[in-house]
Amino acid sequence: MRAVIRVEGVKLTRSPVGVIATLAVVVGALALLSGITAGVAGGNPELIAKAGPAGSLDWNGLMAGATQITAVVSILGFGIVLSWMFGREFVEGTITGLFALPASRAKIALAKLTVYTLWAIIVSAALALGVLALGLAFSYGLPSAEVWAALGRLFVLGVLSTGLAIPVAWFATLTRSLLAAVGGTIALVVVAQVGALAGAGGWMPFAAPALWAMSNGTAVTAGQLGVTLAVPLVFVVLSCTAWSRLQLDR
C-alpha cells in the first residue's frame, strides 16, 4: 500500500494540475481578500455594501471574507484535483495498465484518496497561515483569542471541504470522464449555495461547514456536522467499490 501511495503522490506533486490548484486555492483566495481590502480602504461604496461583515478593516472583516471565500474556493479547487486524479486514468487510457499491477484497483483508488486528503489538508493549513500573514501585513495587530479561534475554524472548514469534494471521485469513476467530474464539482458548489439560500441550514451537509465557520460555531450543531462527516465516508466506500468492479470492456 505504501508503494501505491508513493506513486500517486509523485503523480500529483509532479503534475502541473497539483501546482496550479495549490496556487489557485491559496494565492487566489489571498488575492481576493487583498482586493476586497483595497476596495474597502479606497471607499468603494458598492463593494462595501456587497462585502457585508467582510467590509470592516480589521481582523473580524478579514476572517469573515476569508471564510466566505474558502467555502467556495476549497470545494472547487479540491474537486478539480480529484477530477484529474481519477478522470485522467480513463481519458489518457492508463486505466488499462492498472489491471496488470499487483495492487488491487480498490487499493489504488484508496491510495489516490489518501494522497488527495494529505494534499488538501496541507493546502488548508497554508491558506489559514496565509490569512494570518495577511492580517499582520495589514497592521491589524496581534491576533486575539477570538481571532485564533476563527483561524482554527477556517482550517477546519478546509478540512471538512476536503471530505465534501470526495463524491467527485465517484462521479469520475461512474462517467469515466474528466469533464463530467469537473461538472460534478461545480454542481456540489451550486448545491451548497442553493441549500444555504433555501434555509436548509446545518442539515445541508455541503453548506453546514461554511455556516458553522461563519457563525462562530453557533449555527450548526454537532449532530449536523456529523452528517457532513458521513459524506466522505460513504463516498470513499462507493469510489473504492466502483474501482474494484471496473471492467476493461466498458
Total domains present in the chain? 1
Mean pLDDT computed over every residue of the chain: 86
192-239: pLDDT as tens digits: 777 666 656 677 888 888 888 888 877 778 888 888 889 999 999 999
Flag whether 52 is in a domain. yes
C-alpha span between 241 and 233 (Å, rounded): 12
Flag whether 250 is in a domain. no
pTM score, two decimals?
Answer: 0.91
Domain that holds residue 112: 2-244
Flag whether 249 is in a domain. no
pLDDT tens per residue, the chain (250 residues)? 778 898 888 889 888 988 999 999 999 999 988 888 887 777 667 666 666 666 677 888 889 889 989 988 999 999 999 999 999 888 888 888 877 778 888 999 999 999 999 999 999 999 999 999 999 998 888 989 999 999 999 999 999 999 999 999 999 999 988 888 999 999 988 887 776 666 566 778 888 888 888 888 777 788 888 888 899 999 999 999 999 888 766 5
